[in-house]
Amino acid sequence: MPLVTSKELFSKAYDGKFAIGAFNVNNMEIIQGIVDAAKEEKAPLILQVSAGARKYANPIYLKHLVQAAIEDSGLPIVLHLDHGESFEICKQCIDDGFTSVMIDASHHPFEENIAITKQVVEYAHDRGVVVEAELGRLAGIEDAVNVSAADAAFTDPQQAAEFVEKTGVDSLAIAIGTSHGAYKFKGEPNLDFERLQTIAGLLPGFPLVLHGASTVLPEFVELCNKYGGDIPGAQGVPEEMLRKAASMGVCKINIDTDLRLAMTAAIRKSLTENPNNFDPRKYLEGGRSAIKEMVRHKIANVLGCNNFL
Ligand SMILES: O=C(CO)COP(=O)(O)O
Ligand SMILES: O=C[C@H](O)COP(=O)(O)O
Ligand SMILES: [Zn+2]
Ligand SMILES: [Zn+2]
């Protein structure tokens, strides 16, 4: 099974009212935990690489780790660039064998976002690669961009329809109240489902993408805090809201923070409980297993892309 694009996956997800999980990858244990989970749940995967991940792990290592995951698992896997900030980085990834890229020009004015996205779409489509773009701004921290709550702006539905038509993009990330990181809501969690419904209504059959969609699972926050961590007040998107979004045209759900929390909680616990251990394999193994169980739960109970193959 080679790398695949998300075209067919999204069309099945759209019709079946479920979502494909897009998980951020940064090292071998994270990739293995996610892929082992998908293998057991018979689920397709989008493995996505941010600029930060490329800087941390070296792009060539990540690419070959994902190739190894495909060879080992036989799963349909999309290798996706997350939040590509320029045509140049998208081009680099396309030339390097990625099957999907995100151009995130959402911080530019509307017409400029269209022009940059269009340029990426033309280059990508000529090479059989699909493109995700973003319209509207999420609050929170993305790579080099820290968007304050005041600068965040929800996606305008009419603009979304115009954007898709003018760019020919394959999927679109929208802002309806989610944000990156572990602190998504101050009070009660709340997403603008009315806006989502309007956008989906104007773009029938078109796959939408939800960024900042981690649930910030309380069990992991509690474990982190119990074993020496200090992350009070963390809160994510409730699972019920993700299920609802998946039934309304959201075909790709992005998860990074939940991976980070699961791994950190397990490692903190292992190091605290085994003060004599200095073999990294012992605590990394715990981190990998925690990721695997968390991702299995997401796939089977939240995203609904299990038993897909
Ligand atoms: O959107 C994301 C990656 O692009 C990740 O979102 P979270 O921070 O909610 O996991
Ligand atoms: O969108 C943000 C992702 O969680 C990636 O985060 P990162 O830039 O720290 O790798
Ligand atoms: Zn963005
Ligand atoms: Zn994102």
pLDDT tens string 273-286: 999 999 999 999 99
Sign of CA dihedral 133, 174, 51, 259: negative
Domain extents in the chain: 7-303
Contacts of 191 (CB under 8 A, 6+ apart): 176, 177, 178, 237, 241, 245
* 181 neighbors 212 (Cβ within 8 angstroms): yes
**pLDDT tens-digit profile of 22-55?**
999 999 999 999 999 999 999 999 999 999 999 9
Contacts of 122 (CB under 8 A, 6+ apart): none
Atom of ligand 1 nearest to the CA of 181: 8
Backbone dihedral region for residue 51 (phi beyond 0: left; psi -120 to 50: alpha; all else: beta) = alpha
Cβ–ligand 1 distance for 180 under 6 Å, the answer yes
Between CA 304 and CA 301 the distance in angstroms is: 6
| Residue given tokens 């349909």 in the structure block | 76
pLDDT score for 138: 86
| Residue list for the binding site for Zn(2+) | 83, 104, 134, 180, 211
pLDDT score for 186: 87
Q: How is residue 85 written in tokens?
A: 């900030």
pLDDT score for 144: 47
Query: Which parts of the chain sit beneath pLDDT 70?
Result: 1, 140-152
pLDDT score for 141: 56
Give, in words, the CATH class of 7-303.
alpha beta
Distance 273 CA to ligand 4 centre (A): 34
pLDDT score for 66: 97
Which member of 82, 156, 170, 258 is catalytic? 82
pLDDT score for 143: 44
pTM of the model: 0.96
Between CA 117 and CA 159 the distance in angstroms is: 14
